[in-house]
Amino acid sequence: MNNATQPDLSLVQKVSLELLKLVDSICRENEIKYSLIRGALIGIKYHNGFLPSVPTLSVAMPYLDFQQFKKKFIESFGSSEHYSLLDADNCEQFEVLFVRLIKKSRISLPDDRKQDEKYYAYFLDIYPVYYAGNTKAEYAKAEKIMRKYLKTLKSVKYAPETFRIKNALFRLKNAYYYKKKQPDDYLKLTEHVTKQTQPSKYVLIHSYSKVRGSVKLLETYTNVVQYNFNGVDTFIPANMETWFNGFYSKRMLYDLHTIPPNQASLSGPEILRRVQLVELEMLVELDRICRKHNIKYSLFAGTLLGAVRHKGFVPWDDDVDVVMLYDDYLKFIEIAKEELDSDKYFIRTQETDKDMNLTFTQIKRNGTVFGRPGRDIYDTHKGVFIDIMPLFNGSRYGVLHKLQLSLSRHYRVATWAHMGAISERNPLLRFYYKTIAKPSNKVNYRKFINYATMFKRECGRISHLCFGKRSPKNKAYGMKNIFDSLVEIEFEGYKLLAFENNTDVLNYMYSPEYMKFPILAFRYAKHLPGYIDLGQLYEFEN
């Protein structure tokens, strides 16, 4: 089978092909069986090459072949500065049944953060398929045990007050597996899948869901045919379509081959780091102004988590969050209009942008573009930003606290709804957004402020109303005196301000397990938009 080479490949796609060539050369030289799997097979079927929304590649190898590949790779590249294999031995909480072949990018972090560089690397995933017996009964037992361990490893402790009826069943399942979780689960899982050392009819492959048909047959991974994938001679299963029909649900298949490409994911990890450095520049400028004018602020949300856990950005985080008391917030906006270099920075508020969709303020970097598809029609500044959110006076009474939160949340959503009325894919939600957006974003924002500031008298409580569905009462960042005890905390080599009781804050936001990493599949930038242009800011040298 062959296909025509896709033109104009992105950087990530090009490096993915480079890594595929490396795998292919080792395998051919040593007669190791392998095949492309996952998104690449869907891309071949529907796009004659890469799946537009998935620029990375995955391959599978029978377990004995995988062991041989790993040995040969270490012999050839064990001391390489450019290529390496990530697994549980050298990557934090790498609790999966595959390894990641990475190529180092040009990003360099300080010595005490070198462990985070791996998350800014290009990668290709290599899935061993483990032997699971010669009968359906043997396979069923082995698969059941594998999935039990994978589900316990995936289970998490949820942050408080996050229960919602719509996800009750999912939460109950998570709670069930979390209760069974043990520190040695990953060790037991690896022992389980590797205990059969001889080839068998049935095999196991890392998947949190049940697989079907040819996916669980060793023959699928040995009966392969040559295929020219974007100019690289490689191998795919002879029964390619039955593989992805057995691995993915119909809904997942549809979503995967219809999701439009994202420029950020196609550009590679260096664009994320460049965005972070632009944001850092604005954050340092905010810190300068606040210190000069005695304005209290704190790092917040993922930015605070990054400071505590990584001494900088969470490697897969792509935004900056800062909070202030409402009076300081208003003061900052007025001073920043005068203090900020207007050639470089822009203060985005409801007053500056006709189509402003937020209930808080942003500092934007002029000369940059950071936009989602379909939003170029709006009259608003489109640059890279950091978020500055106010905390409002709250109430000591629980009923009033919840009333303020509920009313403010409605009008916060309504302020944003004129954009959701166009971009939302779900037709029911799109209709809802159109309905609540009719009064206009400006009218809805004024109503938001009316309810957010409904408590004029201070009572020592404050409310967070600018995103999310929760606002703590009488704890964490729900008490005004939290701003009485700010401390300096290291962030990307700078000393910035944060709540002294950041443990309580992070416990509330992320659960007491906030120092743990999410599963590997969730370690990616979730908010990078479709269009990014940073000009020449923070370009990496070749």
Burial 122-154 (b: 16+ CB within 10 A, else e): bbbbbbbbbbbbeeeebbeebbebbbbbbbbbb
pLDDT, greater one: 367 or 5: 367
Q: Note the pLDDT tens digit of each residue in 283-319.
A: 999 999 999 999 999 999 999 999 999 999 999 999 9
Q: Does domain 11-134+198-261 have CATH number 3.30.460?
A: yes
Q: State the average pLDDT over residues 35-40.
A: 96
Burial 253-283 (b: 16+ CB within 10 A, else e): beebbeeebbbbbbbbbbbbbbbbbbbbbbb
pLDDT, greater one: 260 or 515: 515
Q: Note the pLDDT tens digit of each residue in 371-384.
A: 877 777 888 999 99
pLDDT, greater one: 87 or 530: 87
**Structural domain spans, the chain:** 11-134+198-261, 265-533
Q: What's 501's DSSP letter?
A: T
pLDDT at 7: 58
Q: Is the per-residue pLDDT at 6 higher than 80?
A: no
Burial bucket for residue 374 (CB in 10 Å: 0-12, 13-18, 19+): exposed
Asked if residues 348 and 356 have their Cβ atoms less than 8 Å apart, the reply is: yes
The end-to-end CA distance of the chain, in Å, is 37
SS3 189: helix
Bridge pairing between strands 298-299 and 232-237? unpaired
* 274 alpha-carbon distance from chain centroid: 16
Q: Is the per-residue pLDDT at 1 higher than 70?
A: no
Q: What's 202's DSSP letter?
A: B
SS3 1: coil
Q: Note the pLDDT tens digit of each residue in 397-429.
A: 999 999 999 999 999 999 999 988 887 778 898
Give CA separation, 265 vs 12, 82, 268, 368, 523, in Å: 8, 21, 6, 18, 13
Q: What's 125's DSSP letter?
A: E
Q: Note the pLDDT tens digit of each residue in 196-227.
A: 999 999 999 999 999 999 999 999 999 999 99
CA distance 468 to 19: 40
Q: Is the per-residue pLDDT at 5 higher than 60?
A: no
Task: Using pLDDT thresholds of 50, 70 and 90, give the confidence band for residue 542.
Answer: low
Give CA separation, 435 vs 135, 358, 374, 421, 439, in Å: 57, 18, 20, 9, 9
For 69-113, give the secondary structure using H, E and C.
Answer: HHHHHHHHHCCCCCEEEECCCCCCCCCCCCEEEEECCCCCCCHHH
Angle at 111 between CA 13 and CA 491, to 5 degrees: 85
Kindly report the average pLDDT of the chain as a whole number: 94
Q: Note the pLDDT tens digit of each residue in 246-292.
A: 999 988 888 887 777 777 788 889 999 999 999 999 999 999 999 99
Rg (CA), the chain: 25
pLDDT at 264: 77
Which amino acid, 259?
I
486 C-beta neighbours (distance < 10 Å), count:
16
* CA atoms within 13 A of residue 165's CA, in its CB half-sphere: 0
Burial bucket for residue 473 (CB in 10 Å: 0-12, 13-18, 19+): buried
Give CA separation, 317 vs 17, 310, 467, in Å: 26, 11, 17
Q: State the average pLDDT over residues 423-445.
A: 91
What are the DSSP calls for 257-279, one per residue?
HHSPP-HHHHH-HHHHHHHHHHH
Q: How is residue 185 written in tokens?
A: 């689960």
